[in-house]
Structure 1
Amino acid sequence: FLQQVALMSVIAVIIGGIFYYLQADFVKQFFPDRDGRTAVFAYINIATNSLTLFFQLLLIPLLLQKIKIHQILGIFPLMMLLTLTLFGIMPVLYVVLGGIVLQRSGAYGIMKPPTDWLFTGLPDNIKYKFKNFLDTVIYRGGDVVAQLLIVNFLVTSEHSFLHWLETKYNFDLNDLMVLTVIGICLCMVWFWNATKVGKMVVDEFKKYNNEPKNL
């Protein structure tokens, strides 16, 4: 169970890294001056904070009362899957900006509350040790994996696996599209993993004779 929770968190961080790269590439392309970039980042922050509050204060508390936890955990991966698919079809600025707002607000507003809720039925010695491990090693390590392995090593670096394939086999592939396909595949795994975690938590709570409502 805890391994699946860790995997869920790592994939979430990697998807965040992919969106961060897409944002950086498009903002640099469409807003070459510093003032323009500052303004667009300000709008992104305002939209992100507003959506996060909506998710945390209104949407998720309502959903926790209405639907099962595995369904709630599947919402954010599904949102990211649809967003990346839309970007693959329409690789335009507004899709990227909307995607980064959804990714950042959803990470804190949609994913974090039910993820924290997963630990409510576990013994304190497991709960606090693993949450500390999750918040430090997993999230920080996920950032490194996203940036170095997924973004740089596989796709964007001059010595990346993608560029090696292009050189060796004379392919002409778009970096952003390859990164998007990787993100879509990861989101599919993430959706399966998140819903599995939501179903596994039932057995975990039963193991410790603690069954919160709405499982």
Structure 2
Amino acid sequence: MPTEKSAPSAPPAHWFQRYVNVEAGEIAALLTSFAMFFALLSAYYIVRPVRDEIGVTLGKDSLHELFTVVFVVMVLLVPLFGYVAARFPRRYVLPAIYTFFALNLVAFWFVIRAAPQNHWALATFFVWGSVFNLFVVSLFWSLMSELWSHEAAKRLYGFISAGGTAGALAGPLLTQGLVRIFAPVDLMLVSAALLMASMAASLRLRRIKSAEAVDGESEPTGGGILDGAIKVFTTPMFARIALFIFIANVIGTFFYLEQARLVATSITTAEDRVLFFSGRDLLVSIATFLIEVFGTARILNRFGVTVALLALPVTAAIGAVLLSFDAVLAVVATVMVAERIVAFALANPAIKIIYTLATPAEKYKVQNFIDTVVFRGGDAASGWLYSILGGGLGFAAGSMGAVAVPLVALWIWIAQRLGADHRRRAAEVVPRA
């Protein structure tokens, strides 16, 4: 009968919608967003262990100086990005920048393969890698904020984030397999290919969503090249997002530098260090993926953005107290794993949902400024604080705990205020949509 013949086309969507609160017309765009983030974070997590191992090789004394260099580079790049976003159609911005970074990876492969012990080449790659991951991920979320509504974001950002987590899972798996066959530097070419695949997915996603686009949606944002920075300092909600991100990175970098110190003293070979970092990334990715697919949307819809934001500083507070008493590699690794799981599965999607309530210019310029300059400003500030407070003595023996705990208390207060900002902005914007 006709009804029986038509039945086979329904089950795939029905099965998918059983686990993800997606409307039938959104499935193609959702899966393309998932695939784009998967390829993007696969590309990054293939080179991340290489970057982290280079950081250990360069030494903790060089790391806080390099974080300062990264911050300066970010400050110099943001006006350039502001110019590009203001003058060129938004549909060209992401593909052009992704292609540029892919070509950078090929260039680094040539240079480091020819001179593997060159200190300047290694330091430059560490700086580049710290810039690369923030710019490409920030652009991804700017695109998501442009193409998905606030209502859809609350339902679907958990699943889209899971695409990135799956990529973060695939990257370490590829690294652990390929590093036994190829030199770590050769992985840069694999990363470049995946980055181009992500760019291709972005083009397909725009085509899928083009039917929903309004006139001028992909036009240049206009305005000045420093609009993003000005908005952060003049808009309370964006200022609180910036403070949330800044403190998160100060605390996170404390943990990162403490881990680098302990890895350098506990693990002797470069290969074992790469395996340690990739193994840790693998654990984070598995746990985060499961939460994002089955828990993020439910938590956001039931408990709200405020609870998702608060989860991260509360986790960090527990970690800071533990490290103040027992700063060994097992403890710091556990703290970093827990913090990253909560950040990826809850806090980050909550922040990105807030951006869907912004204007097109704010989605690109403000988000980019916060995700790059403010984020790496936290790195630089934390690196110098770590050094001044006696990072060579370790977290427990030094003064880091005494500084970290009050910072976390401030962080919790900001998370509460930011949640209130979101509720107020949503009440103002969503009814008019």
Structure 1 length as normaliser, TM-score? 0.80
1:176 equivalent in structure 2:
395
Q: Does 1:205 align with 2:205?
A: no
Q: Residues 42-121 of structure 1 correspond to what in structure 2 (within 5 A)? A: 42-121=278-357
Question: Residues of 2 paired with 1:9 and 1:71: CA distance?
Answer: 16
Determine which structure has greater relative contact order: mean sequence separation of CA pairs < 8 Å that are 6+ residues apart, divided by chain length: 1
Aligned partners of 2:311 and 2:342 also within 8 Å: no
Larger radius of gyration between Structure 1 and Structure 2: 2
Question: Residues of 2 paired with 1:110 and 1:155: CA distance?
Answer: 33
Q: Does 1:156 align with 2:375?
A: no
Letter in 2 for 1:151: Y
1:165 equivalent in structure 2:
none
2:244 equivalent in structure 1:
8
Letter in 1 for 2:395: L
1:27 equivalent in structure 2:
263
Question: Residues of 2 paired with 1:81 and 1:94: CA distance?
Answer: 17
- Could you list the per-position Cα deviations for residues 144-188 of structure 1 after superposition, in whole angstroms to 9, with x for gaps in the alignment? 22223x22244338xxxxxxxxxxxxxxxx542311232222111
Unaligned segments of structure 2, at least 5 residues: 1-236
Letter in 1 for 2:412: F
- Could you list the per-position Cα deviations for residues 104-157 of structure 1 after superposition, in whole angstroms to 9, with x for gaps in the alignment? 333323221000011222332333321121122211222222223x22244338
Aligned partners of 1:70 and 1:199 also within 8 Å: yes
CA 211–78 in structure 1, closer or farther in 2 if over 3 Å, else same: farther
SS at match of 1:67: helix
CA 88–209 in structure 1, closer or farther in 2 if over 3 Å, else same: same
Letter in 2 for 1:112: N
- Could you list the per-position Cα deviations for residues 41-89 of structure 1 after superposition, in whole angstroms to 9, with x for gaps in the alignment? 2321211222232332233212012102211110011011111212223
Identity of paired residues, percent? Answer: 23
Question: Residues of 2 paired with 1:201 and 1:49: CA distance?
Answer: 28
Structure 2 length as normaliser, TM-score? 0.42
How far off its partner does 1:20 sit? Answer: 0.5
Stretch deviating more after TM superposition (187-196 or 51-60)? 51-60
Question: Residues of 1 paired with 2:255 and 2:306: CA distance?
Answer: 24
SS at match of 1:176: coil
Letter in 1 for 2:401: T
Aligned partners of 1:19 and 1:103 also within 8 Å: no
Stretch deviating more after TM superposition (119-128 or 107-116)? 119-128
1:163 equivalent in structure 2:
none
How far off its partner does 1:211 sit? Answer: 5.8
CA 143–91 in structure 1, closer or farther in 2 if over 3 Å, else same: closer
How far off its partner does 1:17 sit? Answer: 0.5
CA 130–43 in structure 1, closer or farther in 2 if over 3 Å, else same: same
Aligned partners of 2:314 and 2:412 also within 8 Å: yes
Question: Residues of 2 paired with 1:52 and 1:192: CA distance?
Answer: 25
2:412 equivalent in structure 1:
191
How far off its partner does 1:35 sit? Answer: 4.1
Question: Residues of 1 paired with 2:330 and 2:391: CA distance?
Answer: 22
Query: How many pairs align?
Result: 194
Question: Residues of 1 paired with 2:291 and 2:366: CA distance?
Answer: 25
Aligned partners of 1:14 and 1:142 also within 8 Å: yes
Unaligned segments of structure 1, at least 5 residues: 158-173
Question: Residues of 1 paired with 2:425 and 2:405: CA distance?
Answer: 30
Q: Residues 127-142 of structure 1 correspond to what in structure 2 (within 5 A)? A: 127-142=363-378
Question: Residues of 2 paired with 1:107 and 1:155: CA distance?
Answer: 27
Aligned partners of 2:255 and 2:332 also within 8 Å: yes
Question: Residues of 2 paired with 1:71 and 1:40: CA distance?
Answer: 32
Task: Give the alignment partner of residue 125 of structure 1, picking from 357, 361, 368.
Answer: 361
Aligned partners of 1:87 and 1:95 also within 8 Å: yes
